[in-house]
Structure 1
C-alpha cells in the first residue's frame, strides 16, 4: 500500500512516501481503508522522537483517521466490512490502510463527511473528556480557554458553549479571536495586547473563572491559576508554548483549586467504554449540525512534509487534514 514512511527519528523533511506492508486484522482489530487522516502537532514531535511514545522504526505516522472498514478481526462485534468509521489509531493513519483496535473505532453517521470525521477524535475527544470528565464543567459556570484559536482551543470554546458555560476565549491575535467568536465565545481577550489577569477580573467582577482550559503552558499558566475562582479547576492539556510550567501548590491551596491532567489517548485505552460513549455523542452532535469543525487546510498525502511544516509554524487556525482517498 502507499504510505508516508518515517525511516528514522529526524526532522520532518526526512519523511518519505512509498510502499509499506499492508496491515492485517488480528483478534479484536479492524483494518480501515483510509479516506482522510487528521494531522496534529504531536505528529511533528513523534517523527522526531520527541514525544512520550516512540513507535518501532520504520513506521507510518498519523494518529487519527476515518474511512471504511476493510477487514474485521476475530472476536470483533458491531462492525462489518464497508462500515463508515472514525478511529484513534496512535500511528499508521498516513496510509491507504490502517489497523486499529476495534475499541478505538466508532461508527460515523451517514450525514457526516468522512473527511471531516477524520479530524474529530483527538481535538474534540480531548476537549470533551477534559470539560466533561476531568473539569466537570457545569451549566452557568465560566470557562477560560487559552490558545482559543488553535485546533483544540476552538473545540473547547465550541463544546463549552454547547455544555451551557459562559466562555471567555483568549488568543494572541484578532484573527484567531474572530474564529473563537464564530465558534460561540461570549467574551474575547487578546493576550498579546491586553493583561490577561486584569481582563478576567473585569469580566468576572473579580470572582475569577471556574475552569481554565490550558493547551499552551509556559508563563501564562501561572496567570491562569491566579485567575481561578474559589474551587476552580485548571485543565492541563499540553504545552504548545514549548515550556512545561511549574505549578505553585500554595496558589491551589489558597483557592481550594485543582490542577487536573488530561491525556485523552491513554484514557481511550484505559476506559474504552466511557470514551466510546463520548465519541458517539460527539459524532451525533456533528450529524445534527451542533458542532461545526473549522478546517484550516487540506493536503494530499505526497504533501505531508508541507502539512507538518504548516503546523510547526504555529499559524494553524482549526484542523489540518490529509486526504488519502475521495469521500464516498
Structure 2
C-alpha cells in the first residue's frame, strides 16, 4: 500500500510517499480502507520527533470503510463507514485501529468532515463542558480560535449561549469566526489580548479560557475572572509550560489540564462524539475544512498546515 512516511525527524520535507507493507488487523482491531485523513496538530509535532522504526507512518485521525475485523470485534462489520482515532498510522491507504477507537459515520456526512470531527469536537466538548463547566450566559476566551479545536469550541460555546471572545489573526479569518458565533475577535499581533479582554468584560475577566497554545498560559490566567476556570489542552506553541501560580491561588481559580488520548475510549466521551457526528450530519454543526490535498502531496499538506494559518482542518485523500 501507499503511505506518507519519514525516517528522520524534521520539517515537512522529510515525508516521502512510498510503498510499505499493509498493516495487520489485530484481534481487537478493524482494518480501514482510508478515504480521508485529517492532519492534526499532534501529527506536526510527532513528525519532528524520532520515529520508532524506519518508514514510520504518522497520523492520528482518518475516516474510511471497514474491510476486515479482528476475531474479538463484535460491534463493527465489513462495509461500515467509520471515523477513527489512534496515535499513529493514519497517513496511509490502509489503517488498522482498535475498534473501540472508531465511530460509525452517519449517512449524509462527508468523509473529510468525519475524519476531522472526533479529535477537534470531542476535545472541545470535553474542555468546554466536562472540565470547563461552561454555562449559558458566561463569557469564554478561546486562544488559537482558528484551529480545529478553537473553531469547534466557538461553535459549541455559541450554541450554549455563551459570549465568545476569540483570538485569531487576519481579517478574513476574523470575519469567518464572527460568522461562526464569536462575539469579539482579537488579533494578538495588533492587540494586548489581556487588556482588551478586561475592557470587554468591564474589568471582570472571563469565566473560562480554553488554551491549546501553551505559551499563552500566563496571559490566559491574567484574563481570567476570580474563581474562573482555565483549561489548557496541548502545547501548539512549543516550549516549556511555565506559569506563576500565586495569582490563581489568590483568586481561587481552577486550572484543568486535558490530554485526550485514551479518554476517547471512555463510554461518555465516545458517546459524545457519536452525538456530535449525528449533529453534523443533520447540519446542526459545521466542521470547517480549509483545504484538501492528495496523500501523495503529504509534505505540501504538512507545510500548508504549519505555515499558511489555515482556518479549520487540512485534509488529505489517498
Q: TM-score range by the shorter chain?
A: over 0.9
| Alpha-carbon distance change, 215 to 250 in structure 1, aligned in 2, over 3 angstroms | same
Are the equivalent residues in 2 in contact too, given 1:217–1:240 (CA < 8 A)? yes
Query: Alpha-carbon deviation of 1:291?
Result: 1.2
Alignment correspondent of 2:2: 2
* 2:218 corresponds to 1:222: yes
Alignment correspondent of 1:204: 201
Query: Alpha-carbon deviation of 1:126?
Result: 1.4
* 2:163 corresponds to 1:166: yes
Alignment correspondent of 2:249: 253
* 2:98 corresponds to 1:98: no
Give the whole-Å Cα distance in 1 for the aligned partners of 2:19 and 2:154. Answer: 40
Structure 1 ranges of 4+ moved more than 6 A: none
Please report the TM-score for the alignment, with normalisation by the length of structure 1: 0.92
Query: Alpha-carbon deviation of 1:175?
Result: 2.5
Give the whole-Å Cα distance in 2 for the aligned partners of 1:160 and 1:232. Answer: 16
Deviations 1:225-268 (A, max 9, x none): 11111221111122323333412111111211111111112422
* 2:107 corresponds to 1:113: no
Alignment correspondent of 2:43: 43
For residue 274 of structure 1, the aligned residue among 268, 273, 292 is: 268
Deviations 1:111-162 (A, max 9, x none): 1011221111221121111112111212221111011122221111111112
Is the partner of 2:209 in helix, strand or coil? strand
The residue correspondences of 1:1-328 to structure 2 (distance < 5 A) are 1-49=1-49, 55-218=52-215, 220-268=216-264, 271-324=265-318
Are the equivalent residues in 1 in contact too, given 2:66–2:81 (CA < 8 A)? yes
Equivalenced residue count is: 318
Give the whole-Å Cα distance in 2 for the aligned partners of 1:304 and 1:246. Answer: 33
Give the whole-Å Cα distance in 1 for the aligned partners of 2:109 and 2:306. Answer: 29
| Alpha-carbon distance change, 185 to 38 in structure 1, aligned in 2, over 3 angstroms | same
In structure 1, stretches of 5+ residues that fail to align are: none
Is the partner of 1:120 in helix, strand or coil? helix
Are the equivalent residues in 2 in contact too, given 1:25–1:31 (CA < 8 A)? yes
Query: Alpha-carbon deviation of 1:314?
Result: 5.0
Please report the TM-score for the alignment, with normalisation by the length of structure 2: 0.94
Deviations 1:152-210 (A, max 9, x none): 21111111112332211122332222121121112222222222222212222222111
Give the whole-Å Cα distance in 2 for the aligned partners of 1:163 and 1:101. Answer: 33
Are the equivalent residues in 1 in contact too, given 2:113–2:288 (CA < 8 A)? no
Deviations 1:27-63 (A, max 9, x none): 211111100100123212212217xxx5444321111
Are the equivalent residues in 1 in contact too, given 2:60–2:89 (CA < 8 A)? yes
